[in-house]
Every structure is written in C-alpha cells, then in structure tokens.
Structure 1
Amino acid sequence: MDQAGSNSQQVRRRRVFYIPGYDPIHPRRYRELYRKEGAAQAEISGYSLSLSPKRTTGAYGWHAAAVMDGVQSEADIDVLVWSDIVRGSMEATIPATYWQLARTAWIYITTGALRRLMRLRKGPVIAALYPVGMLLLQALLAFLLAWGVAHAFGVAARFGGLGGQTAAANGWALGLGCGYALLRWFKKRDGRIFAYYLMHDYAHSAASRGAVPPEMEARMREFRALIAGAMLDPSLDEVLVVGHSSGAHVGVSVLADLVREGLPADRPALGFLTLGQVVPMVSFLPRADRLRADLKYLSLRDELAWIDVTAPGDGCAFALCDPVAVSGVAPEGKRWPLVFSAAFTQTLSPERWQQLRWRFFRLHFQYLCAFDRPGDYDYFRITAGPLTLADRYKDRSPSHSRIDVPVSKFTSVAAG
C-alpha cells in the first residue's frame, strides 16, 4: 500500500475536506456533531481532542487539536458545501414531487437498475422504495378524505334540497381542497417522515440518468481547486478527503480529476475515505459514464490511499459492496478501495445497539460518531490522529464478506 508522496512519519498537521451527502442543512451541524461525538470518543478511548475556530480561508470548517498515543497533532477540517444545490432541488411543489416519483421509478425499473441493485443489498433498495410507498399512502389518504367530504356534502345537500349535479360539483371541490390540505400537512411534517426528502434525493441522481448535472460539475471544480491548493502546502503531512453517503461518489470524481491534472512531486500524503457510500444508486444508471470512468481510474492510482467503510447495520448504504467491482469497471491491477466493515453490532455495546438499531437515518451517520466499543475504525483518530490513512490501514485485510463481482448492466465509461 505504498503511495507516492507519503512516508511513515507521524502526522503533525493535516487538512481534511469533508463532502456531505444530499443534505440541505447548514454545515454547522457537522461541526457540532464532531464536537459532541469527538468529546465522547475521546473520553471512551482515553485521548485528548479539542476544537477551536478554523485557521484556514475558504470553506466552512473548524480546527481540531489532539493528543493521541502520546503524539500531538492538529487538523483543519473544511466542509465542502453543496447544500444550496440540494435546497434548490427540493423546492418542487407537491404535484411536481409526485411527477418526480413517477419519473424516478420509471427510470430505475425500465433500465433494469432496480432489479440489479436488489442483488446487492436489500436495505438501501427498501430505503429507496420507502418514499415511494409513503407518498402513495399519503395520496391515498388524501383521496379518501376528498371522497369522504364530497360524499358527506352530497348527503347534506340532498337533505337541503340542492340540485344533484351542483351539489356533487361543490362537494368534490370542497373535498379536493381538503385532500390537498392534508397533503400540505404531510409535507410540513416531513422532518419526521423524510418521504419528500428521500424522494428528492433519489430524483436528483436519476433526473439525468446518472450524468453529472452542470451545477454539480461547476461545484466539483471548486472543490478540486481547494484540495489542489492544500496539496501545495509544505506544512501539511496529509490531505484527507472524506465522502459520506452521496458525497462518496462526488469525491470519486473530484479526486479522479485532481490526479489526472497531476500532483506536485513534493506533496503531503493523499487519503480518500468513503463512508456509508451509495455509489451503485448512480453508477448503475445508463448515463453514468463519467462516474464509472472515474471509479475505474481511481482504483488504479498509487498517488492516494482509498479506504471504503460501511456496515451491514446501516440500511441506507450498500454495505461491503466494492463500488468499483459491482459497477463492472474493475480493471486488471485494481488497487482500491480497501473495503471493510465498521461492524456496528461489535463496535457498539448491546445496549447502545438496541437504542439505535431502528433509527435508520441516525445509523447512516454513525460513521461520524463515537463507538463505545471501538475497533480499528475511529473517525476522530483518522481525521485528527498521528497516522496517515495509508499507514493506519497498511496491514488491514478487506472484509471477507464483501461483494466484489460485477452486477451493473451498464459498464460504459467516458472517453479519456
């Protein structure tokens, strides 16, 4: 696992670039999560970790200082924000959301992507079907309310001597208004149900059948420029890019372009950590040529170390699915990623696991949180500790239960 530009000396200073998933919330939530969970993990594991305001320019972030295994190290952590793009994609009206539902379901079913995704893991497919089922249930309840109001109005009108057709029209007008009001009520409470949120998430990926939307291409160029600037900083020992959920496939394309451009000869080590990835949701679509090409390219490179961490307990991720192999683009001589499990059922105590096991959305963020029975995966040691990502996992074997066979129907890659 040797990589150019890295050595086994301890990390004193690191720059971390965190790429969130499909999340409309301000990035301060990630700082607060890091502060709270980092303090908890430090107490459990017996090291020191403190946060202070960021010392770098550019993206939103913070500074972390740590003493782990008797070694002092520090990290500047930046959140690469695309929440404004997410919010823009979530502004659809109720009718437009139902149109997204129909279109997204049509794309995944008719291309065969849904059937092949089900051959990997049932959990994320069920998670993808959840907003479809929930929105259809809401529509059914709204229709039943509309019918009930119209029927009740019609009965009352007949007793009042009103004409049949006029009463029916007025009844249905009132009923449809009540039904639509119910749909608006559901939408306002989506912060607990997540039906609209998840529907917009899947629709965002499927809208272009896997191609990268222009606004994301532009944002990814900005991300690449920030990371490229850090690679020129002589004071850094490591530049670490972390992609969580949908941020994993964004990170793949950003780093593939960065490496293609060429890295400086005298540079810090480059690490890439993907967490809870959902790469197949995009790479299995017919026009995901760009992403498949980037997966293939990055899997061969020795300029970086790429570690992919998931867990079967996370029902929203394609756990232990090698994103390069299952996408059907694994080349001869493939090096990356190293795929292994965060093993929630082992790294969380039985009591903690019972508290979290049915909180699916929370479990999808567990990679960024404290473990009360930590194993060899510790987000805070990785992002603020004294070892590079490559050194930390140089002797780590991949999980034996990983899925590394080609499954995708579409394997074309972008030219160049």
Structure 2
Amino acid sequence: MRRRVLYIPGYDPMPPRRYRELFRREGAAQAAISGYALAPLKRRDETGFGWGAMTVTEGERAEAEFEVLVWSDIVAGSMGRSIAATYGQLVRTAWAYIGSGALWRLMRLRRGPVLAALYPIVVLLAQALSAVLAGAVAGWLTAGLASWWLGLPVAAAVAVLVLRQWRRLDGRIFAYYLMHDYAFTAQNGGAYPPALDERIAEFSGRVAEVSAQGWDEVLVIGHSSGAYIAVSVLAGLAREGRLAANVSLLTLGHVVPMASFLPRADALRRDLHNLAAAGMPWVDVTAPGDACSFALCDPVAVSRCVPEGGGGPLVISAAFTHTLSPEKQRALRGRWFRLHFQYLCAFDRPGLHDYFQITAGPQRLAERFATRGHSPGRIARPANRWSHP
C-alpha cells in the first residue's frame, strides 16, 4: 500500500512542522500501545512541507508520504490586529451570528462549540470592563490629589495599559486568538475571502496533480476549520470531473456549521451538496468530549445540503470516554485545545479511529470503515435557515 496524505490544518498561524513533530511523537506512542511498527521514511516527492512514514501491521507493510497544504500565512495575516480593531471584530462577529439568527440555530445542534464561540466575546468584554474600572479608580485618585483635568488622561492611560497587559497574556487565555478565528469565518457573512478562495483553487490543483501519480490512495484530511476547506477543495474537482477514484476524505473535529449557517456561505453550501452527490469515500470523526467541534453533527444534513437520493459522510464518534483511560481523561480535563487535537494523537484504549493506521496503515479509508454504520448519536436534522444554491 502506497498512500499520499494531504493535510489541511484548521485556523492555525503556526508553521507546518508542528504537525510533523506531533505525528512522530504521538505515532511512536500509538505504535507501542497497539503493537505495530511505525518508522520514518524518506519522501520521494518533496513538494511543499511534509514527511514520510512506514508501518508494518501483522506482517503487512505500508508506506505513506505526507504533505501539509499551508494556509497559515492567511491566518497570520488575519491576526495582526490592534486592540481597537479586535474589539471592532467582536461587534461585527457577534452581529453576524446574532443578527442572522445563526447563533440560535447552532445552539440547537451543540451548545459546546457555541459556548466556545461566546468565550472570547465574554472574556474581551470582561477585560474591557476591568480596564475601565482600573482607569476610573486611577483617575479618581489623581483628581483627588491634583485636579480633574489631570485625572482624565491618567484614567485613559491606565485603561490602555491594562488592555495591553491582557493582550500580552493571551498566550494563556486565547481570547484574542479565538476572536480572530471566529471573525475570519464570519467576515463577509460567511463568503470566502478572496485570498482563501485562491488558496482553495491551488489546493484543488495539487490534489488533482497528486491523484494522477499512481498512489493507491490519496487521503485528504481536514481538521477543524480545515474540514470545510477540504470540502470545497474536493467539491471543485467533482464539478469539473477531475475527482479521481483513488481520493478519499477524512474530516476531524469539524466546525462546518459555524460557516455554513451564515447567510452568504452559498459557496460552502453548494460544495457540501456537490461533494455529497459525488459519493466519494468520506469519513467524519468527532467526539462529544471535544467542546470545540460539532460532535456527531452530519455536516451535509444539518446544513440542509443533502442531494436527492442522499449522500454525505459516514459519521463516527472517537468516543473519548471509551478510547481514553480514566487517567488520560483526568490529565486532559479542561485542556480544550488539546482535546480538539486528540484525533491526531495516541489513544491508550484505541478503537477503530487510529490516526496512524488510517494515514500510514495497510487499509484504505473505505476498507477500514466498510463494516461500520453511523454512530448512534449522529445528528442529521436540517437546522440551517439556508439551503444550497
């Protein structure tokens, strides 16, 4: 088995090497737990950034070459905002979801990711309130010691200093990071910005190029926000008749409704409909323990994009409560970002979802999940106000 993996990250400004290091570290742990061999392998195709891997599972050897489809530059460009600009994003993003009615419809699906979306709004407002209160106290004290005309600039200066200090602490709080994330999705009412549209077209071309190179399987993986980007990448190929039979799709921890429920996300809803109609192998893995994803929500069905005759992904639960030991669950409690990346990591009580067997093992995606049906908790009720064009 020779597989090519094209990985599309979520909203992440970090360089792609973090995914190589994560794969090597967690893959070694999973191989030791599950009893198969996993070793690095030199890539034959060195286009872009990636790595190679080889597995031996019950005497059967398989090889894989990985490539990260990078859009971190677009992410980083969207994050370079001043404090004032970030609060402007807060107002526009809140209105995008509340004014369109999307927020209430999303709440009916899963409260976890909606609360995660409200987190940066609440935290940033609390930070602003603390800055105003600190400034008011400093101004009042200054006015009492000197005069009111000196108190006002002191109050303003203290408020600004407090806000800047909160900004410096965001590496621990993540309020600004999450605000930029949701603002990026909500800009233009859910329509893709031109830079992302162009990158999606580039990714489509890369998938078409790779799929013509004779690989046994070309596995496209989209994690988090990368899931809906992967959908658009492959749907474009399907419409053009260039989606090869050796291409499969794995989506992990998706947040598709955060985009598809917005009023101007017509392109994404069209892509969900078209890709579902194409009938390609597509497995979607989420977990109720991941509060940052729309766990077990069929992204096609809940977005009202199911084609006539049906279609869409096989919806599978990673079932953290069963695939992670109680000790591991305790260690990860409250670490929401780490849980959102668990799909790419080792499980100490592994089930059918083994990221390293799926990406570097001897079975194609469709073969591995051939006997599985949807997980019992699958949510497929159409909750979107808008349908596909």
TM-score (normalised: structure 1): 0.92
Instruction: Specify whether residues 76 and 311 from structure 1 end up closer, same or farther in structure 2 by C-alpha distance, changes over 3 A only.
Output: same
* Amino acid in the other structure paired with 1:239: V
CA distance in 2 between counterparts of 1:168 and 1:55 reads 72
Count of residue correspondences = 389
Pairing partner for 1:186 from 166, 175, 197? 166
1:35 corresponds, among 15, 19, 24, to: 24
Give yes or no for contact 1:149–1:172 (8 Å, CA) kept in 2: no
1:275–1:310 Cα contact (<8 Å) kept: yes
The answer to whether the aligner puts 1:208 opposite 2:212 as a matched pair is: no
C-alpha contact 1:124 1:316 (8 A) present in aligned 2: yes
> Does 2:10 match 1:15?
no
Aligned to 2:251: 274
Is 2:141 aligned against 1:152?
A: yes
8 Å contact kept, 2:138–2:154:
yes
Letter in 1 for 2:3: R
Partner of 2:272: 295
User: Which residue identity is paired with 1:44?
Assistant: I
Aligned to 2:69: 80
Contact 1:305 1:336 in 2 (8 A): no
The question of 1:89 aligning with 2:66 is answered no
- Using CA pairs under 8 Å that are at least 6 residues apart, name the structure with larger relative contact order, 1 or 2: 1
The alpha-carbon deviation at position 58 of structure 1 amounts to 2.3
Q: Is the 8 A contact 2:306 2:312 kept in 1?
A: no
- Paired amino acid for 2:202: E
- For 1:17, what is the secondary structure of its paired residue? strand
After superposition, give the CA deviation of every residue in 1:170-207 in whole Å (9 maximum; x if it has no partner): 21211211211111111122111000000000000111
1:258 lines up with 2:237 in the alignment: yes
Aligned partner (choices 353, 362, 370) of residue 394 of structure 1: 370
Q: Distance in 1 between matches of 2:191 and 2:254?
A: 18
Instruction: Give, in angstroms, the shift of residue 412 of structure 1.
Output: 4.0
Paired letter, 2:167: K
For the Cα contact (< 8 Å) 2:323–2:348, is it kept in 1?
yes
User: What is the identity, as a one-letter code, of the residue corresponding to 2:85?
Assistant: A
Say which one has the larger Rg: 1
Q: Structure 2 matches for 1:156-167, cutoff 5 A?
A: 156-157=145-146, 167=147
**Structure in which a larger fraction of residues adopt helix:** 2
The answer to whether the 8 A contact 1:68-1:386 is kept is yes
Aligned-pair Cα RMSD in Å = 1.1
The amino acid across from 1:233 in the alignment is: Q
Aligned counterpart, 2:117: 128
Offset at residue 341 of structure 1 (A): 0.1
- SS state at 2:108 partner: coil
* 1:337 Cα deviation from its structure 2 partner: 0.4
- Rounded Cα–Cα distance in structure 2 between residues aligned with 1:412 and 1:314: 28
Q: Are the equivalent residues in 2 in contact too, given 1:20–1:79 (CA < 8 A)?
A: yes
Structure 1 residue runs of 5 or longer lacking an equivalent are 1-11, 158-166
Residues 236-385 of structure 1 correspond to what in structure 2 (within 5 A)? 236-263=215-242, 269-302=246-279, 304-385=280-361
The alignment partner of 2:278 has SS state of coil
Distance 1:49 1:250 in 2: 29
Report the residue type matching 2:362 in the other structure: P
Asked if the contact 1:64/1:384 (under 8 Å) is kept, the reply is: yes
Q: Is the 8 A contact 2:239 2:274 kept in 1?
A: no
Tell me, in whole angstroms, the C-alpha distance in 2 between the residues paired with 1:169 and 1:406. Answer: 59
Paired amino acid for 2:326: P
